[in-house]
Structure 1
Amino acid sequence: MHVPRRETVYADLKARAPADDPNGHWLSQLYASWMAGEGGLPHYLGLEPETFWALTDWYFPGARINGVAPSGQHADYSRMLERDDLRRQLLGHAARPEATELPWLADILVAGCMGGDHLWQDLGFWSRADLSGFIAHNFPSLAALNSRDMKWKKFLYKQLCEAEGIYVCRAPSCEVCIDYPKCFGPEE
């Protein structure tokens, strides 16, 4: 199977994306990486097939995209309760709760959380800054809560745990935890 270069796919998709919507840039990266077999997103980006096609048509009309992940990743539905909790958390911070595409974007972020690498890498973003921009644009109040720039996947799960009253740090506060430095800083 021919796997296209992500830069080539990005350029094509970005040209099709709505010029006035910053999500076009970020989704062009995400799709391009995914189509090049990079990242950890499963088939259909973790969306239902009909939702995948709606999102694709919404942002990239006329693009030729296959819903099957070249990486061969499959969605892990054994963590469904966790997926639902993460989705609710994200949508509770949606910039525009009425926007059709925000639940789709939340579902893609949740699918990325099921991966085993840094969230920006699992999603196929080209840098952590791209992920941070994407979250700040679509889920601004959530981004504001991450005022100390904690790694996103750790931050999302920490927020879930705190909402449930579960505190898994081995120390009474993060600042004295021996693993604390690993939660912040570069992810390159």
Structure 2
Amino acid sequence: MIAAVSAPLETNHSAAIRYAQLMQHAAGWGNDHVFACMISSLCAVTNALPDWLGLEPAAFHCLMRYHFPGLNLGNEPNIQRPFPIQRRDEADELVRLMLMDKAGASPSEVWMAHVIAAGCLANDHLWYDLGLWQRADLTDLMRRNFPALAARNTKDMKWKRFLYKQLCDAEGIYLCRAPSCAVCSDYHACFNSPS
């Protein structure tokens, strides 16, 4: 069973209440805590994730049944913040990068790759945009879900920058200094743009 983690003082009160509700239904899997943080932050509109954590609604409901059986949030995670479709290629590349090194221990890893990719499309620190309550949660989930990828982050680089650097390295772009692909002048060299 996963031990409950209390929210830091700056966490929104409604997010803390939702977190407690989620953890009461937690199945005991390794990603329960981080998904509870993300979902409670999304419901309280205190993170930057799109509706349904950036997942399709059916995938979100599968995640809920797996991690929080017996709890139905209805449409609450649909806060009218759609996924930025114009950046789908970028998100897909990030998902592929993570899934190449998934642990292979849980179906959660696929959902997590999609959620992290959606979080990478926002503009703040990744842990914050995901609705996590501390950076250490992001490091832990990266090690648990994508251990070989996480092991390559030998210099404790910020995770969003690290993921984009991995994409740039794979494409042979070694001077990338952009904090995200949205502001990079080489965006079209890395991702196919819709015609």
TM-score, normalised to structure 2, is 0.79
Shift of the alpha carbon at 1:68? Answer: 5.0
User: Which of 132, 135, 142 does residue 142 from structure 2 map onto?
Assistant: 135
User: Which of 157, 165, 170 does residue 150 from structure 1 map onto?
Assistant: 157
User: Which of 8, 14, 17 does residue 23 from structure 2 map onto?
Assistant: 14
- Indicate the percent of aligned positions where both proteins have the same amino acid: 42
How far apart, CA to CA, are the structure 2 residues paired with 1:137 and 1:107? 15
1:48-87 superposed matches below 5 A: 48-67=56-75, 69=77, 72-87=80-95
What does residue 38 of structure 2 align with?
A: 30
Count of residues paired in the alignment:
166
Contact 2:127/2:133 (CA < 8 Å) preserved in 1?
yes
1:90-129 superposed matches below 5 A: 90-96=98-104, 99-129=106-136
Q: Compared with structure 1, are the counterparts of its residues 124 and 136 closer, same or farther at alpha carbon in structure 2 (3 Å cutoff)?
A: same
What does residue 53 of structure 2 align with?
A: 45
Shift of the alpha carbon at 1:22? Answer: 1.9
Greater than 6 Å deviation, 4+ residue runs: none
Instruction: Calculate the aligned-residue CA RMSD, in Å.
Output: 1.8
Q: Compared with structure 1, are the counterparts of its residues 86 and 169 closer, same or farther at alpha carbon in structure 2 (3 Å cutoff)?
A: closer
1:145 is matched by which residue type in structure 2? R
Structure 2 gaps of 5+ residues are 1-11, 178-195
Contact 2:38/2:53 (CA < 8 Å) preserved in 1?
no
TM-score, normalised to structure 1, is 0.82
Contact 1:43/1:68 (CA < 8 Å) preserved in 2?
no
